[in-house]
Structure 1
């Protein structure tokens, strides 16, 4: 197959390109490559999508499959206008952030969506979900019965630079001072391994799979996940302080991601955010490795990149020590 990946230099898109090459496909990556390069074995066409439709001149119009990971509806529209007519299959990697309600565990693909980002409005991190909704609608309109919409959940595994899933195994491996943990033993975590997601997307292109699917992992209790972090890190005797969510919020600790956060801890009314059903995707060929393997790979990646590096998500050690002291003091 002749496969075009719009991207191919970062995390998921790079893994898709890597697996496609390994499967014997002819892979072209269309990317700027400002920070990283595509995997070995691909044809790399340098291009800047911000210049508009002209960016696609000379790229070719006939592809067996196109994979799109865009966040900007304007960029997505231009690509669809230029490439969708000649593409036999079109995959758009969307997100479960498109859903309007995150409170219901087990919700499927028929759940209500956010309103799409209005045409002409620039997307921002705060309108990520609305932007993805808009691109979904553009994709269905332009690609029709050739469209495969992949609503990905939190993606983990080697190469993840968001630092969310890897924070906890990395912190357990670092050891040392007391680890501050949100007291959420029964809360759901739901991670899909980047390698499994890429494999399913590639298989979908090969089989011309169409439709809209939640591409999410199986649900794992936070306490089971954290226990596996300590076991994999070889730190079963780690000293842990378990603080309530209300107290953490009072101290300014953020949920989910970003600086001064505790990853995988969710805000109120998000019981379904990491607990959506994946039955439809499984019924259509999505295979998931044991989540413990994903965690082990994430830990290996954390060690390779440095356990004490500055992170995009999680608490700094200084902030953690301060918060642990405050929590212990109020417990007395």
Structure 2
């Protein structure tokens, strides 16, 4: 138990510190600052961190289990969310639009029957988690850089492709907006994290001068801090707390049921120890910010997506001790 408390203290102090700093900055700095920081991390910061952490990560063992489990978590989360909607008496029939309402097209989450866009956001929030910006620092702090490759493969070969692949297909099915499917290919092809994965794997064994190697590691950890600051800045802009009930149910599937079931499944097939913990932590992350991007692009229920992001990011502080206690 002391080691559990120390592990959480090592995580929560920097995690909450950087996020709270981002919350404060997000309320004071111009909104354009958040966009600039996000673009920097997307195109430069995160790719540098991937290359740097891969140099110290171990690729031994059945690392392919990480992306396979990621896809199992995506399908299980989406399936459980769909089944819940199907078996709820209040969710069996779609709401009929009321032409007398001035806000037609914006679903009221307090009505008993969720509309198609609301159902789409509900399923999407249960599918993919924030395994990059949030999953990376959590994994690095609690498990260490040796098993970072497991988290990396889970994120890039599972969550990223799942969000902009299956997530986009699902959003097009439930959404009210119209977007070309070519957006999927562009989103994946332009993702620099995927390119940096190949670059890092290719040159991970190439020796570098000590000063350059140290500078690369410092830059990588600095980008982790910037990622947490960006999360805080984005959370500072989330003002909607509608549909707390639906968001809580979707988060329960995403952050509790799926990690527990698949975590036990990993134990049954012999995946235990740090590798198991890394995968469980990635599965237990709150919904990814990509869910909000997709919800906006395909005109899903943005309010539900926002609520799920805010509640999930806060709830992570309370769910992490559960997974450390069960799987550490």
Task: Report TM bin, short chain.
Answer: under 0.3
**Structure of higher CA gyration radius:** 1
Structure with the larger strand share: 1
Does 1 or 2 have the higher relative contact order (CA < 8 Å, sep 6+)? Answer: 2
Instruction: Tell me which protein shows more helix as a share of its residues.
Output: 2
TM-score of the pair, normalised by structure 2: 0.25
